[in-house]
Structure 1
Amino acid sequence: MVKTLRLNRDRVLRAAIELADEIGLEQLSMRRLAQELDVVPMALYKHVANKDELIDGMLDMIVTEIDPPGPGAEWKPAVRQRILSARRAMLRHRWASRAIEMRQAPTPAILAYLNSVIGILRAGGLSANLTHHVMHALGSRVLGFTQELYTPGDAREAPDMTPFPHVLEIAMAAAHENDSIVGGGCDDQFEFEFALDVLLDGFERLKDQNWTSTPIRYG
């Protein structure tokens, strides 16, 4: 006799992640998930109230895949390591970045992750003021993904670039590997790390200069 696995929230979320990895977030539904788990749809609602809560739980579980900072690391390599680990999680679950963009508020696990990154910056000597602007500058990059200005569509729909020689020149100036792209466009691993390192180097210079956006008041 085959023993049926007991249904619980953890099993529901893990099955939902695997299904979203396979068919995409748009095709994921409570009914489809119930079929995957071989239960009636109502059984899922004992563990998640609706699809929004399901997605929040899925994102929280994915955030736990982000590696913790190494002990004793300086702030810049520590932040870099966390962000690149977040990116690997986004690459494993290609739908997750879109799900994050769709949420109106961060989940508890995402807040805990952001709190950890902020803690690394503050412990590294960055002021609260500078850290505020650093988090704005990093934007979604802190969670391992960025959004391109335009995503490429069907090649047959590509516009004639002849009237735009500068755009064409930079588009052809570097090659990009398709298997390292999140979503679409040129946001491959090299471009991601290039921009991240430029930002981190800039933050370090501002820290060393005791930069602040708060005007200094005299008298």
Structure 2
Amino acid sequence: MKQSADGTRRAPLSRERVLRAAVAFADGAGTDAISMRKLAQELGVVPMALYKHVANKDELLDGMVDLVVGEIGPPGEGGWQPTMRARVLAARRVLLRHPWAAGVIQSRTSPTPAVLGYLDSMAGLFRTGGFSVGLTHHAMHAMGSRLLGFSQELFDDTAATPDPAVLRQLARAYPHIAEIAGAAGHDEASTVGGCDDQAEFEFALDLLLDGLERLRAAEQVAQER
């Protein structure tokens, strides 16, 4: 085991150590700030030492995604719907700990091994829950990124409540959007309870799961006739 300049022992460099350091770096600074040089500095090694474990930044990002997805853990036991719901929400908790991960997952040109394994296990939950291959296919498409705990929103709703004058101007051109924007504000006066990302995510998740259960039950009835 090598020693650092101050004489303390340093763990030998490994792929896992490189990836864990990269994840910790991204958690604090985001992936745009990562470079092999900066990561090497974090690890106390020369940049060339990293290339024995990751070929380039793309491979580094793939490995980081796999490390994060590996934190989700296996599904629990029970009916398909509560098990699916619990695991999706577990995935969401993991991705909230690593805010950069959703963007990186979306940017990959093909799924990483851990993502493929995770999606395969989710498809398995549908199949063992009584879904046909065809309905499982539709379910996977309908769930989309929600299977991994995140969703692509139509609008950025993190901004402050628009100025009333702006809302009035908006209402003249886009009356229904203005109506929603005025009702779903971020303050206690909001008429629809405000924009709570977690509540909105669970609302959509439950709609999808309830609808898929209805389709599964209908398909099963049709097959029994």
TM-score normalised by the shorter chain: which range applies?
Answer: 0.7 to 0.9
The offset of 1:150, in angstroms, is 3.0
Which residue in 1 is equivalent to 2:56?
50
Segments of structure 1 that go 5 or more residues without pairing to the other structure are: 178-185, 212-219
- Mapped to 2, the partners of 1:189 and 1:104 lie a distance apart of 28
1:102, CA displacement in angstroms?
A: 0.6
| Residues 17 and 58, structure 1, Cα contact 8 Å, conserved in 2 | yes
* SS in structure 2 of the partner of residue 94 of structure 1: coil
Question: TM-score if structure 2 supplies the norm length?
Answer: 0.84
Query: 2:204 pairs with 189, 195, 201, which one?
Result: 195
Alignment of 1:54-203 (within 5 A): 54-71=60-77, 73-151=78-156, 160-163=169-172, 164-175=174-185, 188-203=197-212
Instruction: Quote the sequence identity (%).
Output: 57
One-letter code of the match for 2:175? P
The alpha carbon displacement at 1:171 in A equals 2.2
Distance 1:74 1:197 in 2: 15
What is the CA deviation profile of residues 100-139 of structure 1, one whole-angstrom value per residue up to 9, with x for unaligned ones? 1110000000000001000011000011000000000011
Higher helix share: 2
18, 29, 34: which one aligns with 2:24: 18
* Larger deviation, residues 90-99 vs 145-154: 145-154
Aligned-pair CA distance for 1:82? 1.0
Find the aligned partners of 2:158 and 2:127 in 1 and give their Cα distance.
42
State the AA in 2 paired with 1:113: Y
TM-score by length of 1: 0.86
| Number of the residue aligned with 2:4 | none
Structure 1 residue ranges (4+ consecutive) displaced by more than 3 angstroms after TM superposition: 152-160, 174-177
| CA distance in structure 2 between the partners assigned to 1:87 and 1:46 by the alignment | 33
Provide the secondary structure at the position in 2 that maps to 1:88.
helix
Shift of 1:147: 1.0
Q: Deviations over 1:16-62 (max 9, x none)?
A: 00000000111111111111111111010000000000000000010
- Pick 1 or 2: higher relative contact order, CA cutoff 8 A, min separation 6: 1
Structure 1 CA distance for aligned equivalents of residues 135 and 33 of structure 2: 41
Mapped contact 2:171–2:177 kept (Cα < 8 A): no
- Which residue number in structure 2 is paired with residue 210 of structure 1? 219
Paired residues of 2:171 and 2:179 also in contact (CA < 8 A): no
> Equivalent residue of 1:114, what SS?
helix
Contact 1:60 1:108 in 2 (8 A): yes
174 and 162 in structure 1: CA distance in 2 versus 1, 3 angstrom threshold: closer
Single out whichever of 161-170 and 26-35 deviates more from structure 2: 161-170
Contact 1:148 1:187 in 2 (8 A): no
Task: Quote the Cα distance in structure 2 between the aligned partners of 1:176 and 1:154.
Answer: 9
- 1:185-210 deviations in whole A, cap 9, x for unaligned? x5700000000000000000001110
